[in-house]
Amino acid sequence: MGPVLRRGDHGSAVERLQLALRQAGFDPGGIDSRFGPATEAALINFQRAHGLLADGIAGPLTWARLDGDGPVKPIDITDQVTLDVVADMFPFTRLDTIARHLPAVLGALRRFDLVDQPMVLMALATIRAESETFEPIDEAPSRFNTSPGGHPFDLYDNRIDLGNQGRPDGARFKGRGFIQLTGRHNYSRVGRQIGQADRLERQPDLANAPEIAALVLACFLAARRQSIKEALLENDLTRARRLVNGGRHGLERFTEAYRIGQNRLRDPVWSLPQVVSGAALDYFPVQTVPVVA
């Protein structure tokens, strides 16, 4: 596995990258040991072809694919997620509530390998947008789910796109949890994915149990991991939020929490000292090499 390389680096490690890209069918042009725009373009296309985050950075995930090695897990930054950090991201939330539910959230993120900085921040900011109290909640009746004079959630009753089968499915499978899981189909599908089989469909109130609510959140984000990370890479928080919520609900809270978290949680990729040669990264111990695509 090679060192982390990005545009502007040069040296023998860049030459190795260029040769590997050419061998893989993505010609960077001349093999000149300089990471310029042609090498970056070849790398981005290689990453896209192999389902990697197309950030133009040769990190362990990209090297593993180039070298034919096994999968590489992302660097786990969840040990940085302390009560103080989350309290800054949730300035209007009781500390005892954060302390009570944070372990379940972090445990679920670890289970689904959502442990790198962008996905940890995505999860916490999503909770801030959906439930500023940092606890699983029920969806409230509104004009979007309840008709004038109708029974609560009657507009959901016949939502076949959600798998609902008529009254009382609207109320039975209303939004719950940290991420507002909604609809019979989603309760059934996500229940299986988190190891609850049909239990969640039979007992939908379980979606508000903190441990299950945290697993539902992590499962939902994991299914959209690639698209979310691409949006975050482009600094498009509106698109990242839409990938979860389908709209802009809570976008201001989401954005504020994400930005605060960026300032508090160190991203290993961009926290490395500036170097004039990609080869200099070889001097960093293996465990501190950032995992990027």
Tens-digit pLDDT profile for residues 6-21: 999 999 999 999 999 9
Do 227 and 281 fall within a single domain? no
Instruction: Reply yes or no on whether the pLDDT at 88 is more than 60.
Output: yes
Pair 237, 128: CB distance under 8 Å: no
Instruction: Reply yes or no on whether the pLDDT at 285 is more than 90.
Output: no
Do 127 and 221 fall within a single domain? yes
Residue 71 pLDDT grade (very low, low, confident, very high; cuts 50, 70, 90): low
Do 41 and 101 fall within a single domain? no
Do 156 and 258 fall within a single domain? no
Residue 3 belongs to a domain: no
Pair 221, 190: CB distance under 8 Å: no
Q: What percent of the chain has pLDDT over 90?
A: 75
Token pair 């042609």: residue? 38
Do 46 and 82 fall within a single domain? no
CATH number at residue 17: 1.10.101.10
Do 128 and 228 fall within a single domain? yes
Count of structural domains, the chain: 3
Distance CA 6, CA 269 (A): 11
Give the residue from 130, 204, 138 showing the smallest Cα distance to 173. 204
Residue 221 belongs to a domain: yes
Q: What percent of the chain has pLDDT over 70?
A: 89
Do 70 and 200 fall within a single domain? no
Which domain does 27 fall in, by range?
Answer: 12-74+269-288
Pair 4, 59: CB distance under 8 Å: yes
Give me the mean pLDDT over the 228-252 stretch. 92
Residue 293 belongs to a domain: no
Tens-digit pLDDT profile for residues 157-212: 999 999 999 999 999 999 999 999 999 999 999 999 999 988 999 999 999 999 99
**pLDDT given for residue 148 in this prediction:** 97
Tens-digit pLDDT profile for residues 101-141: 999 999 999 999 999 999 999 999 999 999 999 999 999 99
